[in-house]
Amino acid sequence: MIVKQKDNEKNNSASAFEEIYLSYYHKIRSFCRNYLRDDDLSKSVAQEVFEAVWNNRENLNFSDELLPYLFILAKNRCLNILKRDKVQHCYSEYGFNHNRESLNYDSLKDSTINVLYGNEVEHLLNEALLKMPETVRSTFCQSRFRNLTYEEIAGIQNISIKTVEYRIMYALRVLRKILKDYLPILLGYLSAELF
């Protein structure tokens, strides 16, 4: 007698489930389409909702109104998909930006490029030094290449510190004028050399 009652309950729940499926499937699919904007994905989510109902049929009362429950299941599944897609999009965008930055850094670090730019900048620097008066060139070289202080240069050349400052400013003005087009390259070259 108990076995027949369980068989009747299974048949009743199966027929009740079929009735709910036929009545509400299209509503749930349309509801999902409003969230996901993808018909195939909406069909898939609607199928998952009814699969979850079937798997949980022993705990549900099919005589109750289940539409609000179905909407809540569908909404939660849609929100999970949207969150997952957002995370994937952010990660792929991060990966794209990271790869681009890595490529830029690697291209700056490429030794053949450094040698090429280094030689070109060195040539322009020598050209700029030759355009300077001898006194300015001497003062600038002692400051920048021999790392002497302004006081030490003033003592060696028997000039005032103000004269040393003026000569350095004059030399830098000449360099800026000649190297103005190469400043971004020079900065990239110097930063690549530092790393």
- What confidence score (pLDDT) does residue 178 get? 79
pLDDT digits (tens, 9 = 90+) for 117-148: 566 777 777 888 888 899 998 998 898 888 88
pLDDT band at residue 156, thresholds of 50, 70 and 90? very high
pLDDT band of residue 154 (cuts 50, 70, 90) is very high
What pLDDT, on a 0 to 100 scale, did the predictor assign at position 17?
Answer: 87
User: Cα–Cα distances in Å, from 123 out to 48, 50, 148, 177?
Assistant: 70, 76, 24, 15
How far is residue 90's CA from residue 77's CA, in Å, rounded to a whole number? Answer: 20
Four-residue CA torsion sign, 142, 147, 150, 153:
negative
CA 160 to chain centre: 54
Domains annotated on the chain, with CATH: 2-104 (1.10.1740.10), 110-194 (1.10.10.10)
Cα–Cα distance between 158 and 132 in angstroms, integer?
Answer: 20
Taking the C-alpha atoms of residue 194 and residue 186, their distance in angstroms, rounded to an integer, is 12
CB 36 within 8 A of CB 45: yes
Average pLDDT of the chain is 77
Taking the C-alpha atoms of residue 115 and residue 108, their distance in angstroms, rounded to an integer, is: 11
pLDDT for res 25: 93
> How many Å apart are CA 71 and CA 66, to the nearest integer?
9
The confidence score (pLDDT) of residue 7 equals 47
